[in-house]
Amino acid sequence: MLIIEYNDKYLEDVKDLLVELEKYIISIDKDNLDQLHSEYREKMAVLDLEEVKNNSGKCYLAVENNRAIGLIMGCIFPYREYDYLDYKCPKRGEITELIISKNARSKGIGSMLIKKWKIILNQ
């Protein structure tokens, strides 16, 4: 298993992973507010990846047998100019998506992806 930076050849796998995550979220939503819109699979991955690109973020994939089995996406949002007046402003990030396919869980993949994300914050 490898941890790699996002590559377009895995876009369909990313879409599958995001759908799997949304289905799980729906299953635990006691208020029944979450939904899996008919366009979710085709649009959500593209929107997430665009947000990552526009906010100095990264997407990493856990790849096994030439298939993405997990992912982490996050953004590094900038501080406002006046934040620097009274704060050292270390790099801060937000993980926006984290999913390990159900069949690949309990192997430490999530921890490996989070460690990779932390490296970005420390650069």
Q: pLDDT at position 77, please?
A: 85
Strands 2-5 and 94-100: unpaired
Do 52 and 58 meet the contact criterion of CB atoms below 8 Å apart?
yes
Q: pLDDT at position 82, please?
A: 85
Q: Which residues of 60-81 are buried (b: 16+ CB within 10 A; e: fewer)?
A: bbbbeeeebbbbbbbbbeeeee
Give the integer Cα–Cα distance in Å for 74 and 33. Answer: 24
Q: How confident is the model at residue 99 (pLDDT cuts 50, 70, 90)?
A: very high
pTM of the model: 0.88
Model confidence at 123: pLDDT above 80: no
- Alpha-carbon torsion, ordered 15, 72, 58, 77, to 10 deg: 110
Q: How large is the average pLDDT for residues 59-65?
A: 97
* Residues spanned by the domain of 98: 2-121
Say what percent of the chain tops pLDDT 70.
100
Give the integer Cα–Cα distance in Å for 67 and 104. Answer: 11
The whole-chain average pLDDT of the chain stands at 92
Q: How many domains does the chain have?
A: 1
Reading the block at residue 106, the tokens are 């309990």
Model confidence at 80: pLDDT above 90: no
DSSP sequence for 27-43: HH-TT------TTHHHH
Q: How confident is the model at residue 10 (pLDDT cuts 50, 70, 90)?
A: very high
Q: Lowest-confidence range among 19-23, 29-33, 79-83?
A: 79-83
Q: What is the CATH number of the domain that holds 70?
A: 3.40.630.30
Q: How large is the average pLDDT for residues 29-52?
A: 94
